[in-house]
Amino acid sequence: MPLLIKGGEIVTGTEHYIADIYCEHERITQIDRNIDAPSGVEVIDASGKYVFPGFIDPHVHIYLPFMGTFSKDTYETASKAALVGGTTTMIEMVCPSRDMSAAEGFRLWQEQAAGKSACDYTYHMGVTRFDDENAAQLREIVASGIASFKIFLAYKGAFGIDDTELYHTLKLAKELGVIVTAHCENETLVAERQKELLAAGLTGPEQHEASRPPVVEAEGVHHLMTFAELTGAHVYIVHLSCEEALRAALAARFRGVNVSVETLIQYLLLDKTDAERPEFEGAKYVMSPPLRDKRNQPVLWNGLQSGEIQTVATDHAPFDFREQKPMGRDDFTKIPNGIPSLEERVKLLFSHGVKAGKLDLHTFVNVASTNAAKTFGLFPRKGAIQIGADADLVIYDPEYRGTISAKTQMMNVDYSAFEGWEFQGRAETVTMRGEVAVRDGKFVGTVGRGQMLRRQPAHF
């Protein structure tokens, strides 16, 4: 059924104005003042509300075999949680084990999503091994519509690649015009420091940060920058957590490296003292790179507002507190890494960014939606409110107040890292390609309607 959204304040990365939006055949077909509603059209009153482009989470894990277990969400639970939180498109990391070919990995990840997602999605193709066979398969995967790779400089012996593989992955990416997203931490330093800490009897979750301090991340960034400079590849640093790493990225940008930067909602709001909580509760807050000293948070907020950092993602990786995090009760290196937050990213960024005066509304839209669309070849189909764009719209009530709790969340995980946190503003109504998927904050969409989005390499 066509949809008419009336009287909302449309806010994009560059403009804000009051107008009506008419949507038909999954797309926005008209934007104007006082559009009349023909019969058979659903009319949604958005007066007093913002209308944002559907938000995009450019870094999630849904199917993730990792550290001896599997992350908890399915495409059904994750996509419902995403939509309720205002996220209409997710980009998942395909992370094949090193003994799996790229083609096998890509197939396996697609099987998890097919017919099960309520929102649109695409993938960053993990390159966890680089050889002639995989290179040929990666070319085919790119030709089939995947315009980004993912590499890990961390996780020695698991997803991590060596420098020869890194060099050739970036050369292939440059040739194909594919952007390379990268987890930047020096895996050798992490492994050695983990051994030292354990040998000293330091085994709790609070040791996680000490095993991979800011310089370890900054070294990883600098390392990637050197390879990007030599190959000319466009790179994107995922989950940047600290000032030292940002400085390394900015120094490289200053000398001409084509580098984009992502930070996470967790780094903006949580800090390393959360991983020091007693009774092993700190394990809820173990992820990599680790939560940092609070001094880094203003640097990250300023980096977003000034344009040094392009995106805010979640790196959503849900592992249960009761059954899975205790795998590392006596050894922090075995705690499954990840802090779930797919559902909460937008409301937390709005509350603590926009309402707190750290981000203006346009920057909020850019870092949570439009910049990801532009960086990953989805714009203007996604991340935009303009004629011809997908009718992915978030009608946002800026005055709503609520409290986060695991008891009410849609994510399939037994805790919330933000339990009891109050927030202001929420996605009241969400449309996904013209269908109302969330009404009054509740999921009313269609599981299986989500499509895998095909993207073209950028060649820049």
The contact set with Zn ion (CB under 5 A) reads 183, 315
Q: How far is the CB of 407 from ligand URP (least distance, A)?
A: 24
Query: What tokens appear for 114 in the block?
Result: 């097919």
Residues 286-305 that bind ligand URP (CB under 6 A): 287-288
| Nearest C-alpha neighbor of 60 from the set 291, 215, 266 | 266
Interface pick for ligand URP out of 120, 315, 343, 390 (rule CB under 6 A) = 315
Residues 224-283 that bind ligand URP (CB under 6 A): 239
Interface pick for ligand URP out of 337, 369, 370, 429 (rule CB under 6 A) = 337
With respect to ligand URP, which residue has the nearer C-beta, 168 or 183?
Answer: 183
- Give me Rg for the CA atoms of the chain: 21
Interface pick for ligand URP out of 180, 235, 248, 317 (rule CB under 6 A) = 317
Dihedral-angle region of residue 200 (phi above 0 means left; psi in -120 to 50 means alpha; beta otherwise): alpha
With respect to ligand URP, which residue has the nearer C-beta, 93 or 391?
Answer: 93
Q: What does 338 bind: Zn ion, ligand URP, none (CB cut-off 5 to 8 Å by kind)?
A: ligand URP
> Cα–Cα distance between 289 and 74 in angstroms, integer?
24
Confirm if 44 and 58 have CB atoms less than 8 A apart.
no
Cα 52 vs. chain centroid, distance in angstroms? 18
**Collapsed DSSP state (helix, strand, coil) of residue 92:** strand
Strand 69-70 relative to strand 65-66: parallel, antiparallel, unpaired?
antiparallel
Residue showing tokens 């999503």:
113
- Nearest residue to ligand URP, scored by beta-carbon proximity: 337
With respect to ligand URP, which residue has the nearer C-beta, 316 or 433?
Answer: 316
| Nearest C-alpha neighbor of 394 from the set 80, 8, 57 | 8
Q: How far is the CB of 287 from ligand URP (least distance, A)?
A: 3
With respect to ligand URP, which residue has the nearer C-beta, 338 or 450?
Answer: 338
Q: What does 337 bind: ligand URP, Zn ion, none (CB cut-off 5 to 8 Å by kind)?
A: ligand URP
Contacts of 131 (CB under 8 A, 6+ apart): none
With respect to Zn ion, which residue has the nearer C-beta, 46 or 238?
Answer: 238
The neighbouring-strand residues paired with 179 are 148
* DSSP summary character for residue 390: B
With respect to ligand URP, which residue has the nearer C-beta, 42 or 281?
Answer: 281
Q: Residue 211, interface with ligand URP (CB under 6 A)?
A: no
Interface pick for ligand URP out of 44, 57, 58, 61 (rule CB under 6 A) = 61
With respect to ligand URP, which residue has the nearer C-beta, 189 or 287?
Answer: 287
Q: How far is the CB of 250 from ligand URP (least distance, A)?
A: 22
| Nearest C-alpha neighbor of 184 from the set 143, 228, 145 | 228
> Cα–Cα distance between 159 and 156 in angstroms, integer?
7
Applying CB under 6 A, the site for ligand URP has a residue count of: 9
Interface pick for ligand URP out of 72, 80, 183, 455 (rule CB under 6 A) = 183
Helix or strand (DSSP H, E) at 301: helix 296-306
Please give the residue ranges that form the binding site for ligand URP (CB under 6 A). 61, 183, 239, 287-288, 315, 317, 337-338
